[in-house]
Structure 1
Amino acid sequence: MTPPEDTSPDAWKHADADSTTRESLAEVNASVSVPSQGVWWRKLLAFVGPGYMVSVGYMDPGNWATDLTGGSQFGYTLLSVILLSNLMAILLQALAARLGIATGRDLAQACHDSCPPVVRTGLWILCELAIIACDLAEVIGTAIALNLLFGIPLVAGAIITALDAFLILYLMQKGFRYLEAFVVALLGVIAVCFLIQILVASPPVMAVLGGFVPKAEVVTNPAMLFVAIGILGATVMPHNLYLHSSIVQTRAFERTDAGKRDAIKWATIDSTVALMLALFINAAILILAAAVFHGKGHTGVAEIEQAYQLISPLLGLGIASTLFAVALLASGLNSTVTATLAGQIVMEGFMRWRLPHWARRLLTRGLAIIPVVVVTSVYGKSGTAHLLVLSQVILSMQLPFAVIPLVAFVSDRSKMGRFTITPGIRILAWIVAALIVALNLKLLFNVTTSGF
């Protein structure tokens, strides 16, 4: 195979002695064929996949904790936060895909080539912490699901999750399309499980629609704001921006301006449709919690185990709890794919360190397993619930450090050339970045002054 034509803008061509020779996820870069001719839907199908892998991060076990808490405590009110977060995610993921396709760099590589060593090292450390927080949620969720379905103790379940690393390695060796098919299949399981439960719960339509209308109480109520920021952190996940900017490059599109423009269009459609599925699942979790728990006076349900125990008797459907746990297990298994791949992308992109894939994945998973084992051993099941919500708040606090560089890069004509975003999109992107910063500052103020 001949190397793709380098059409990167001059600002990045000589940013580093070997910056143009390092491909993001080199083992699968340009490995998925794209038809150059034929009907439009064949090309669309060729690009379907990365968006669904990214969408996994928007419905992982961390989302479950924050959505269950929000629905049981505040009814349908925080649906507006889920909607806003999802719209922000659609925009940001489209920008991440644009960066990767237009420049041939993922976000981590772009930071490496543009930032001084001290800055990029700081960004790398923050991003690694976010990935650990994300993986922490996935370990907890998978361990809880194994406990609920098979009675495996939480500590043992957390340790078992280390085997996920070998599953991912096996699928990667088979081909990137196999990995994508695995993810999509589990997403289908999650969607079907929640669709059945929502149909049985029959929530009031007007109350649900009213929940999507933003309310000032979300910001003025400290307790509600804390959960809202957790939802934001669980929905718009920083590591997904690094991930998406890399895995869109697995498509063997023509590395010309016309080929890139076409790839950006199809990749944007892919991620937008996939994130609408994530919106449905996130909203379904909160709606279920609001209808089944809040609507029947159980406003203190914040732990997944509580929801599992209560959902069947309150819903009047014997299989509901099993469906709930199966969806949780599928969510936890799925989310390991994105977190471990993002870990590889971040380490290789920021620091140019290359570890064997199995070692990188075991390292990421090990750093997440340790706190779960310690907290579970000391505090029991209740400790994992607080750890789960806290992990999502940590993710939210890290968001600005991924969003701001992304928006800056795609707004810079010297880096993006003719693929620079339009002034209108630029303004909207900076508004989203400013909103994220403002919400996080508000949360930080509440944490330091009132303990929320």
Structure 2
Amino acid sequence: MTTDARADAPARTAGRRPLLRLLGPAFVAAIAYVDPGNVAANLTAGAGYGYLLLWVLVVANAMAVLVQYLSAKLAVITDRTLPEVLRDRLGQKSRLAFWAQAELVAVATDLAEVIGGAVALHLLFHIPLLLGGVIVGVVSVAVLALQHRNGVRRFEAVIMGLLLVIVIGFVSGNFYSPPDAGEAVKGLVPRFAGSETVLIAASMLGATVMPHAVYLHSAMARDHHGTVAPEQRRRVLGATRIDVVAALVVAGLVNISMLLLAASALRGVPGTETLEGAHAAVATHLGTGAALFFAIGLLASGLASTSVGAYAGAVIMQGLLRIEVPLLVRRVVTLIPALVCLGIGVDPTRALVVSQVVLSFGIPFALIPLVRLTSSRELMGEHANRRATQVAATVAVVAVVVLNVALLWLTFTG
């Protein structure tokens, strides 16, 4: 799949393209930051605890900017994806173990995305959840086919169009119910209020800094830019910084808007712990127009993110194991856990939140190698991370590990 994409990006021409032509990969990766798991985690946080955990989104988004830039930088300098670079540095057993945890993350990702899309179809058209999950899977295959047949740019265009729909769908709610500015400022002060808020914070972090987006971005950057000549690398890296900041500002705005909407309009409202309940509460308190925007945004989020997630899974397997699985086969296999959950009646919102906790445990496995590799002068040459970047990235990794250890302790002892 990536071979065809690379053919769409002629070698040694990226540095001479106009700036706008260099943008795009980060906006595809940003879809991972506004998937249905984000919706569930952010609504749960806002409806249950108001503005308390707003600071988690701000910190996580700042971490995401740094992480996604490092992922793209690795690809621009080495002309390889993160999984490909890791493959060359891991033994066979280590490589298989690393692939296994990365695939688990990919399955958890797909679980959230398919369930979210199925719930949206149910809210909009009263389609049964199981059938809705099948429809989401079929549509994702069609979206991925654009990348396979027409190259990476057509795929980017479709995903960016869906991102625009997501922005409108979720940001619009704040015009119906403006947040309390004073309370929002207080929410920027880091603090928790019991073990449950740590669980929710971990799910928010897992939904915001997503491991599969780290692997994917390196592939998107490589496929978009092609081989970058050494004299053009600084310009491409400059454009990459703009791309990442712009994309994640958009994603951060969407995530913060979700939490602010829940905090201002849904706090204390019965039933808002589920997506269906939140949608009903939005309809009751803000009107059918706001509820329609909410459901459309959720549907666009599910369709776009499951397509991007399937692409990421293919990048992981191909990069680490040199195995290319046919698109339809991979889509069916990764779809099964979500369809099983929908078929046996698992609470969709709870499944979404738990899936994000699983993702948060996969973050260190992506981040630690990424920081080490991009700090290597042997690999990156003059573009190796500066000391300040290395320190900031290390602090981010440590914060994730500490939060997950605290989550385990509070979960099993609280």
CA distance in 2, matches of 1:448, 1:120: 31
Pick from 439, 445, 449 the counterpart of residue 403 of structure 2: 439
Cα shift at 1:105: 1.4
Residue deviations 1:236-275, cap 9 Å, x none? 0000000001110123455322222222221221011100
- Checking the alignment, whether the CA contact within 8 Å between 2:144 and 2:155 is kept in structure 1 is no
What is aligned with 2:285? 314
CA distance in 1, matches of 2:14, 2:200: 45
What is aligned with 2:383? 419
- Checking the alignment, whether the CA contact within 8 Å between 2:22 and 2:225 is kept in structure 1 is no
What is aligned with 1:288? 261
Counterparts of 1:148-163 in structure 2 under 5 Å?
148-163=123-138
1:346 counterpart = 2:346: no
CA distance in 2, matches of 1:35, 1:47: 7
What is aligned with 2:370? 406
- Checking the alignment, whether the CA contact within 8 Å between 2:32 and 2:305 is kept in structure 1 is yes
Instruction: Count residues in correspondence.
Output: 411
Residue deviations 1:400-438, cap 9 Å, x none? 111111111111111212221111111111111111111
Question: CA 1:254/1:111 → structure 2, altered by over 3 Å: closer, same or farther?
Answer: closer
CA distance in 1, matches of 2:151, 2:363: 31
Over alpha carbons, which structure has the higher Rg? 1
Residue deviations 1:346-400, cap 9 Å, x none? 00011111122332233322343333323x2xx4xxx222111100000001111
- Checking the alignment, whether the CA contact within 8 Å between 1:147 and 1:157 is kept in structure 2 is yes
CA distance in 1, matches of 2:90, 2:213: 20
Pick from 65, 69, 72 the counterpart of residue 97 of structure 1: 72
Residue deviations 1:81-115, cap 9 Å, x none? 00000000000001001111111111111111111
CA distance in 1, matches of 2:221, 2:14: 16
Residue deviations 1:190-227, cap 9 Å, x none? 2122332211102222222332x2233x2x62111110
Pick from 110, 132, 156 the counterpart of residue 135 of structure 1: 110
Question: 2:52 is matched by which residue type in structure 1?
Answer: T
CA distance in 2, matches of 1:129, 1:334: 20
Question: CA 1:77/1:30 → structure 2, altered by over 3 Å: closer, same or farther?
Answer: farther
- Checking the alignment, whether the CA contact within 8 Å between 1:253 and 1:263 is kept in structure 2 is no
What is aligned with 2:235? 262
Counterparts of 1:20-169 in structure 2 under 5 Å?
25-29=2-6, 31-32=8-9, 37=16, 43-169=18-144
- Checking the alignment, whether the CA contact within 8 Å between 1:65 and 1:303 is kept in structure 2 is yes
Question: 1:339 is matched by which residue type in structure 2?
Answer: G
- Checking the alignment, whether the CA contact within 8 Å between 1:164 and 1:336 is kept in structure 2 is no
RMSD (Å) for aligned C-alpha atoms: 1.7
Residue deviations 1:101-136, cap 9 Å, x none? 111111111111111111121111001000100100
Partner of 1:191, secondary structure, is helix
CA distance in 2, matches of 1:66, 1:272: 23
CA distance in 2, matches of 1:128, 1:367: 13
Question: 1:433 is matched by which residue type in structure 2?
Answer: V
Normalised to the residue count of structure 1, the TM-score between the two structures is 0.87
Partner of 1:57, secondary structure, is helix
Question: CA 1:127/1:313 → structure 2, altered by over 3 Å: closer, same or farther?
Answer: same
Identity %: 35
CA distance in 2, matches of 1:319, 1:117: 54
Q: Which has the higher helix share?
A: 2
What is aligned with 1:8? none
What is aligned with 1:20? none
Cα shift at 1:300: 5.7
Question: Which consecutive unaligned segments of at least 5 residues does structure 1 have?
Answer: 1-23
Question: 1:355 is matched by which residue type in structure 2?
Answer: V
Pick from 146, 152, 168 the counterpart of residue 176 of structure 1: 152
Question: CA 1:252/1:292 → structure 2, altered by over 3 Å: closer, same or farther?
Answer: closer
Farther-moved stretch of structure 1 (189-198 vs 329-338) = 189-198
Farther-moved stretch of structure 1 (200-209 vs 322-331) = 200-209
What is aligned with 1:7? none
1:385 counterpart = 2:349: yes
Partner of 1:99, secondary structure, is helix
Residue deviations 1:309-337, cap 9 Å, x none? 1112212x231111110110011011012
Partner of 1:338, secondary structure, is helix
- Checking the alignment, whether the CA contact within 8 Å between 1:165 and 1:362 is kept in structure 2 is no
- Checking the alignment, whether the CA contact within 8 Å between 1:81 and 1:214 is kept in structure 2 is no
Pick from 218, 221, 234 the counterpart of residue 248 of structure 1: 221
- Checking the alignment, whether the CA contact within 8 Å between 1:101 and 1:264 is kept in structure 2 is yes
- Checking the alignment, whether the CA contact within 8 Å between 1:254 and 1:260 is kept in structure 2 is no
Question: 2:88 is matched by which residue type in structure 1?
Answer: D
Partner of 1:353, secondary structure, is coil
Question: Which consecutive unaligned segments of at least 5 residues does structure 2 have?
Answer: none
Farther-moved stretch of structure 1 (247-256 vs 299-308) = 247-256
CA distance in 2, matches of 1:299, 1:120: 47
Question: 2:4 is matched by which residue type in structure 1?
Answer: E
- Checking the alignment, whether the CA contact within 8 Å between 2:15 and 2:233 is kept in structure 1 is no
CA distance in 2, matches of 1:225, 1:418: 40
What is aligned with 1:428? 392
What is aligned with 1:323? 293
CA distance in 1, matches of 2:270, 2:376: 48
Normalised to the residue count of structure 2, the TM-score between the two structures is 0.95
